[in-house]
Each structure stands twice: as structure tokens, then as C-alpha cells.
């Protein structure tokens, strides 16, 4: 199978068919039409085997995750995802792998009305890169820089399950296989909070997606907004499995610093708090009030007894 047959078979016409795609896969560039009155948002993310996903990860999960981590960035801006470009580096031609990968990518793209409009295909160590584009009404994107002292800090969903799965895979935490399946699903198939991001337009003062751990990603918001914050550790939302396994962890380190959650962390002025909570409840999404923005700088974390805990705020860094 040639490079072009590979593209035609696995990546031509994937995702949603959108009327704003004038030319998709097949020409030197794709052509799309941005809606009048909208700003374009663009983001790229790369997955490297052994770094961003365990070596034994199913190809379908890799395809899903590549789309999910990019959608999560668009979600955090409150934007509507539209178009994606896929850059694929493969060690060899493997039809079974490609079929699974394309299925995972296509499934989540279609669910979120994203059209795969182009990319590049090369041979080398397995590396998967996606660039996603979305649109948002002029000036309405949710930025990291808008948090103000007094704003409430919220997070969607639950934290720490993906980090827990990774700890089990790395032999650091024992877990029975059935329970492991639950958290492995959270590691392999994160659900990007696209609808939540859109619902928070005009309500949230800032927003970030939690990819490197809550402490690290909220830290970016605090730096960009020139503010500090206090977080209540007992308010961090945990799943049933998370509650069981992380109960003995007084600093809630996995929920606070573990990566790969792909939830949204956002700030809301007090006056808009009720409306924001309602908006997410209408989507059936858990939304937890975990702390408050303060004047100053840095993140303070306190437990139920008021004791302060130091957090590893760095998150995962490649260099
Ligand atoms: P060129 O050499 O002109 O850059 P390519 O031969 O790289 O074009 O690609 C041919 C067409 O296939 C282009 O439209 C490109 O966007 C698309 N394409 C290449 N690889 C992929 C891929 N992995 N997924 C989706 N589209 C792809
Ligand atoms: Mg090219």
C-alpha cells in the first residue's frame, strides 16, 4: 500500500462532513470558511508512545485520545471545534493498527462535528500530532488571564483517576483488574468538556483544561492573571474509585498534581456563580467549587482542618 492509498483508505473524509469545508484532504491545502463575526482558535498536541500513552495502549484509544486532548484545548477557550489536521509518523504499514486508530479518531471527531481536512504522513518512530481549529464569536474566547480576586474556582468532573491508572500500570499501586478497567478507561478515553466550555462563555472569567495536573494548570491561570488562590483539598472531586484509593493521601497529591484529567478548571465572579453552576448541571456534568482567587500570587492548599499542604506545582515537563 502506497502513502496515498493509506491516506485514501484511512483518513479521507473522516469526522463530520461540514459545509464550511470547501476543500478537504487531497489538495495542497485545505480550504475552510470561518463564520463572519467569529475568531479562529488554533491548537496542536502531539502524542509520543511511552511518554503520552503506555506502550500497550489499544490503537483505537490512541486515536480517541489524540482527538480528545486537542478538543480539550478548544473546550477551554469556550470555542466550537471545527477542523483538524493529522500529522502521522509510523514505524511501518500496519493495517490493523491504522484501522483501530482511524476508528478512535473518527468516532470522537464525528461526535464533536469536527472534519479531518488534511495532514502529513511519514515513516519513523510512532508519533501522532494533531492541529485543531475552532471558532468563537468575536472577543468571547475564555482566556487564562481573566481571573480576579474574589472569583470562585471550579473544576468539572473528577480528578486523579488517570494518574491512578498510570500508578497501577507502573506498579506503584495494587488494584484488582475490574477496578483497574474503570480508571484505565479514564486514562485512555478522556471526554473533552466541549459543551461545558461553550456554556461558560460570558460567565467564566478564565478557563484552562487540566492536562498536566490541577495545581500546574491552575498555576498558569494565576500567573497569567497576576493573582493567587486558595484551594480546599477536601473539595477536590473524586470518583468512587478515587475516593477509595486516594482517601489515605492527605495532600490529595494525585488529584492535585496527577495529569491527564482533561477536565476544565475555571473561575467565575461571585455574581455569575449560580448561573454557571446551573449551566453545567443542565449538561449533566459535575461541577465542584474548590477554592477562591486571591490578591497576591501563588497557590495555597489547605485540608479540612485548616492545615496547609505544599504541592508539587510543576506538572509534567519534557525538558
Ligand atoms: P503535499 O506533498 O503536497 O504536502 P501530501 O502528499 O503530503 O501533500 O498529502 C496529500 C494530501 O493528503 C493533502 O491534502 C494532505 O493534507 C493529506 N494528508 C496527508 N497525510 C494525511 C493524514 N495522515 N491525514 C489526513 N490527511 C492527510
Ligand atoms: Mg504536505
Residue nearest to atom 20 of ligand 1 (CA): 120
State mean pLDDT over 51-60.
91
| Whole-prediction pTM | 0.94
C-alpha closest to that of 287 among 167, 187, 199, 185: 199
Q: How confident is the model at residue 315 (pLDDT cuts 50, 70, 90)?
A: low
Residue in the structure block whose three cell numbers are 482511524 = 102
Q: How far is the CA of 22 from the centre of ligand 2 (A)?
A: 18
74-124 pLDDT tens trace: 999 999 999 999 999 999 999 999 999 999 999 999 999 999 999 999 999
Cell of 267: 473561575
**Distance in angstroms (rounded) separating the CA atoms of residues 132 and 114:** 9
Q: How far is the CA of 7 from the centre of ligand 1 (A)?
A: 7
CB atoms within 10 A of CB 269: 17
- Phi and psi for 177 in degrees, rounded to 5? -60, -35
Write out residues with Cβ below 6 Å of ligand 1. 7, 11, 25-28, 86, 88, 116, 118-121
Is the model's pLDDT at 260 over the cut of 90? yes
> For residue 8, which ligand has an atom nearest its CA?
1
- What per-residue confidence (pLDDT) applies to 310? 81
214-249 pLDDT tens trace: 999 999 999 999 999 999 999 999 999 999 998 777
- Atom of ligand 1 lying closest to residue 26 CA: 14
Q: How confident is the model at residue 318 (pLDDT cuts 50, 70, 90)?
A: low
Provide CB contacts within 8 A for 152, sequence distance 6+: 267, 268, 269, 270, 273, 289, 291, 292, 293
Tell me how far CA of residue 145 lies from CA of 78, 108, 266, 277, 297, in angstroms.
Answer: 14, 29, 11, 21, 13
Residue nearest to atom 18 of ligand 1 (CA): 119
Of 120, 128, 131, the residue with max ligand 1 atoms within 8 A of its CB, to mutate for a pocket test, comes to 120
Q: How far is the CA of 220 from the centre of ligand 2 (A)?
A: 34
Q: How far is the CA of 206 from the centre of ligand 2 (A)?
A: 36
Amino acid at each position: 500500500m502506497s502513502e496515498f492509498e493509506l491516506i485514501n483508505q484511512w483518513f479521507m473524509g473522516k469526522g463530520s462532513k461540514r459545509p464550511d469545508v470547501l476543500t478537504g484532504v487531497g489538495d495542497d491545502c485545505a480550504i475552510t470558511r470561518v463564520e463572519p463575526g467569529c475568531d479562529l482558535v488554533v491548537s496542536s498536541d502531539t502524542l509520543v508512545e511511552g511518554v503520552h500513552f503506555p506502550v500497550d495502549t489499544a490503537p483505537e484509544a490512541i486515536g480517541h485520545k489524540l482527538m480528545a486532548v486537542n478538543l480539550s484545548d478548544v473546550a477551554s477557550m469556550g470555542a466550537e471545534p471545527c477542523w483538524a489536521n493529522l500529522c502521522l509518523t509510523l514505524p511501518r504499514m500496519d493495517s490493523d493498527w491504522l484501522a483501530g486508530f482511524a476508528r478512535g479518531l473518527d468516532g470522537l471527531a464525528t461526535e464533536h462535528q469536527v472534519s479531518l481536512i488534511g495532514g502529513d504522513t511519514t515513516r519513523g518512530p510512532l508519533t501522532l500530532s494533531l492541529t485543531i481549529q475552532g471558532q468563537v464569536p468575536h472577543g468571547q474566547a475564555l482566556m487564562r488571564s481573566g481571573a480576579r480576586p474574589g472569583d470562585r474556582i471550579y473544576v468539572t468532573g473528577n480528578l486523579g483517576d488517570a494518574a491512578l491508572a498510570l500508578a497501577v500500570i507502573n506498579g506503584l499501586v495494587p488494584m484488582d483488574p475490574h477496578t483497574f478497567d474503570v480508571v484505565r478507561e479514564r486514562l485512555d478515553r478522556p471526554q473533552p468538556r466541549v459543551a461545558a466550555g461553550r456554556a461558560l462563555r460570558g460567565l467564566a472569567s478564565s478557563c484552562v483544561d487540566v492536562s498536566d495536573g490541577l495545581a500546574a494548570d491552575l498555576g498558569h491561570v494565576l500567573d497569567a492573571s497576576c493573582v493567587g488562590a486558595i484551594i480546599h483539598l477536601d473539595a477536590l472531586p473524586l470518583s468512587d474509585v478515587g475516593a477509595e484509593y486516594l482517601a489515605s493521601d492527605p495532600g490529595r497529591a494525585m488529584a492535585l498534581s496527577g495529569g491527564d484529567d482533561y477536565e476544565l478548571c475555571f473561575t467565575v465572579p461571585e455574581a455569575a456563580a449560580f448561573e454557571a453552576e446551573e449551566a453545567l448541571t443542565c449538561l449533566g456534568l459535575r461541577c465542584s467549587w474548590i477554592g477562591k482567587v486571591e490578591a497576591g500570587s501563588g497557590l495555597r492548599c489547605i485540608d479540612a482542618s485548616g492545615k496547609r499542604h505544599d504541592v508539587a506545582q510543576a506538572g509534567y515537563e519534557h525538558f
